[in-house]
Structure 1
Amino acid sequence: MASPSSTPRIVELAAQISSSVTDLQERLSAQGIPSPSFAEDNPKDFPEDLNSLRDALLDATAELHELLLDPLQLLYKFASIPNMVGIDATTRYNIAGMVPHGGQISFAEISERSGLDKGLVRRLLRHAMSMRIFQEPEPEMVAHTKISSFLSIPYINAWASFEARDTWPAATRVVDSIEKWPGSEEPNQTGFSLANNTDKPVFEFVGAHPERMMRFGSAMKAVDHVPGHAPELISKDYDWASIGNASIVHVGGGRGQIALELAKNFENVKLTVQDMAMMVEGAESDVPDQLKGRVEFMKHEIFDTQTLEADVYFFRMVFRNWCDKYALQILKAQIPALRPGAKILIQDACMPEPDSVPLWRERVQRSVDVALKCYSNGRNRYLDEWKALLAAADERFRLNQVFLPKNSLLSILEIHWVEL
């Protein structure tokens, strides 16, 4: 975007970056926090109270970097096709797990342990090093950076592997699926369907392949690292105390991690977790003694008619997986159990309008949105799309307010059921 002043944009950005970095470093030093680096032991999470300053710096440095690239190099950067090769090899052979923390290992030893040719190991890892994954502290030796150290965590390795082996091939077929099935809202007419030559929806297909299901299941914990997604934040994202002595049904609540977090922090609520049989089977054994009787589990398919009367029906990252055709079915399925004053809480993305949030965060949200299209023809929705969805389901669904917790990519939509 051109600057309205006569000062060249790159000069403006340089000044902004210089001033902001000085401010950032002073505030880090005052808190006794090390300056950001790629060192293996450098903190992997950023202090929340400095997020606004970090947001501004990330956007400014990205803009300066991208202004200085010619169009072909900028397109190449965003295409990043070869980058997935190095990430895929790193995760598939668990190379991050071979590198000792605080030490180093040779290309030759990695070759021996992985079964890969030494020259190929060097080729792949030096490519990864160009992305700050690993470092070469001395010739032919490999050591961790904080990024490769992060990849050595099993569930993070599983997530990166799932992205490389499952998401990446499917993403390359999204436009093919649009051409093949114009306007389709079906979960089995997607890029994933084409990449895997299947007519099964993604969860049904993955569930029939144990290795992929294990990879997917392990990878889901990585979502906790996405801004605002960690389960322990749920108690702060909404004024749960305001609902009083309430019964809550968590529809699609999995093994109850969120329900347990809420029950632990709010003694006046009782929760029933609903999900498919394979998810809730045996889950009650994980409920701590002090929460027994306040967190229960019930087999319930998400499109089935709701049979439990409750004060609140909570959906967390459910509707994003479905296009409007199926999202309407989920909403309408709740109606038979709703009574005046009941609330539906939907924790999901409310897509930002352009320039309304830091660009780096916007890029994350738009990437997730495309991935949802890739997998199930689901999508993240704008506020006007949420309103249209509720109106199409039933005029008695009234959007009361939208909560957007600070630094979170998830909103909470509070919907009231009103009698006309």
Structure 2
Amino acid sequence: MAEPQPTLQSLAAKITELSETLTAYLRENKVPEPTFAADSPTSYSNLSPEIFMTRQVLLDALNDMWYLTQGPSESIFNYVHNCMPDAACLNILNFFDFWSAVPVSGSATYAEIATHTSLPHEVVFRVLQHAVSLRIFVEIEPGKSTSRIEHTSRSAALAKSAGLRALVSSILDDAGAPLMVMNEALRRYSQGKPELTQKMDESSFALFHAGGQFGKHGNSWDMLENDGDGEKQGWRQKNFVEFMRYVKEIFHLEGVVLDAHDWKSVGKATVVDVGGSAGHDAVVLAQHFPDLTITVEDLPKVKSSFEANLPADLKSRVTFREHDFFKPQTVQADIYIFKMILHDWPDAEAAKILQALIPALKPGARVILFEYIGNQGEASEAPQLPRSIKQMGSATDLRLMALFNGKERPVKAWKEVFRLADERFEVANVNANPQNFFAVIEAVWRG
């Protein structure tokens, strides 16, 4: 029997109930509650899994209330009218670092912000007028062109966190434009065909960059490594490293990596972290398991970030090696790990990355994938998660389609990627928990 349709009154009652549950938890556990003030906590800390899910159900109810309050047509109109200007505004604020133009505990004039950003006064005024409507910054004297500008908690969160700024840049500045030409890429390369094209040169990213006006990059990794001139070359790569560090922080991936394998039982083992960025996971593993020797592999521009991140007492056990993971692997190890790497590539390329390991693999070597799975299981097996959680997976999935013609895969699809790479990979262990968004897939080389 279908559930009854929600109404404004039923949603209001549900929102009240869920809000009281969340507020009571915050009060009982002494969790500071965010406000819009600049000195507000920037996030909820230490929510239990149960109260986290309660919050997500509350978000779903609030979204339903937002839709029904406007009505179907107006909710679409208002979304379409605002979504791109909202994103463009945030991207401009972030790109020109409006965050540091205003002291977190002070204020600034429009003229001072214009000087700091080197943008015309009129542009600064117009961008900030929209930002203020989103509670990003606030006017001390609303409506006056002479008003000074202060931070809200939303803008202050960006001023305080390099990781959050890197997230905004990576998602909006790197991936935003390709997403907006995805309709044309699909029309050209996939319409009328039974499956999405798997060719990297037929992705939305490739179409956007084909003319070279914004850099003629073959894929986003090429852009990260090479965009910019002179000392600015590779600035996107450094930004992406910070983004990955932040992702590890907000998703608590340290625990996922530590619990993925019985690291203690392997004893004096060698590990290669393929595409390991600045070595954040390698450092955690080495600190917890002193018998591990770890090589972090990534592109050349990452090396300086790695060296800055590596504690002095780990230099004898954690090293960096410049390596393109499509090239044959030359480091023989007991364990190879890939964290959020293969999901960026279509099946054929993901298989090639695994095949590149084969020259160095010894019998019994293990390959461990850490992959974001969202809610990408089959309908019959996927738990009924709140829509706000499912959107995390589906939004990432569309971004991967735009950048790589890739996709978020359910767990069983990862087994197929291993099979496609080589029948001698045997998937030995799978640990998937959609509530923490990640799956760990472990394969053993039986060559």
Counterpart AA for 2:298: D
Give secondary structure in 1 for the equivalent of 2:43. coil
Equivalent position of 1:124 in the other structure: 127
Q: Residue 109 of structure 2 aligns to which amino acid in structure 1?
A: S
| Corresponding residue SS for 1:306 | coil
Given candidates 165, 185, 191, the residue that maps to 2:204 is 191
Partner of residue 42, structure 1: 40
Q: Which residue of 2 aligns with 1:380?
A: 408
CA contact (8 A) 1:189 1:199 kept: no
Partner residue, 2:193: none
Q: 1:305, 1:336 within 8 Å by CA — same for their partners in 2? A: yes
Residue 379 of structure 1: SS of its match in structure 2? Answer: coil
- Map 1:9-48; keep pairs closer than 5 Å: 9-46=7-44, 47-48=46-47
1:399 aligns with 2:412: no
| Greater CA drift, 384-393 or 72-81 | 72-81
3-state secondary structure, aligned to 2:320? strand
Aligned counterparts of 1:282 and 1:113: Cα–Cα separation in 2: 27
Match of 1:208 in 2: 226
* CA deviation profile, 1:352-394 (whole Å, cap 9, x unmatched): 2466332212212211221122222232212232222222222
- Corresponding position of 1:359: 387
Distance 1:313 1:268 in 2: 16
Q: Secondary structure of the residue that 2:55 maps to in structure 1?
A: helix
What letter corresponds to residue 222 of structure 2 in structure 1?
A: E
1:114-153 → structure 2 map (5 Å cutoff): 114=117, 116=119, 118-139=121-142, 140-152=147-159, 153=161
The verdict on how the C-alpha distance between 1:258 and 1:162 changes in structure 2, with shifts beyond 3 A counting, is closer
Match for residue 308 of structure 1? 331
> For residues 285 and 130 of structure 1, what CA distance do their matches in structure 2 show?
39
1:291 pairs, out of 314, 319, 323, with 314
Which secondary structure does the structure 2 equivalent of 1:48 belong to? coil
Conserved 8 A contact 1:229-1:410: no
Aligned in 2, Cα 1:123/1:392: closer, same or farther, shift over 3 Å? same
| Mapped partners of 2:117, 2:356: distance in 1 | 51
Q: CA RMSD in A?
A: 3.0
What's the CA shift for 1:99? 1.4
Q: What does 1:336-355 correspond to in 2, within 5 Å?
A: 336-352=359-375, 353=377
* CA distance 1:292–1:356, shift in 2 (3 Å): same
Which structure has the higher relative contact order (CA within 8 Å, separation 6+)?
1
Tell me: CA distance 1:99–1:108, structure 2 relative to 1, closer, same or farther (3 Å): same
TM-score by length of 2: 0.82
**Residue 213 of structure 1 aligns to which amino acid in structure 2?**
G
Aligned pair count reads 417
- Listed as ranges, the gaps of 5+ residues in structure 1 are none
- Structure 1 Cα separation of the partners of residues 424 and 79 of structure 2: 44
Fraction of identical pairs, as percent: 27
Gaps of 5+ in 2: 191-195
Match of 2:399 in 1: 371
Shift of 1:336: 3.7
Change (3 A) 1:320 1:224: same
CA distance in 1 between counterparts of 2:27 and 2:12 reads 22
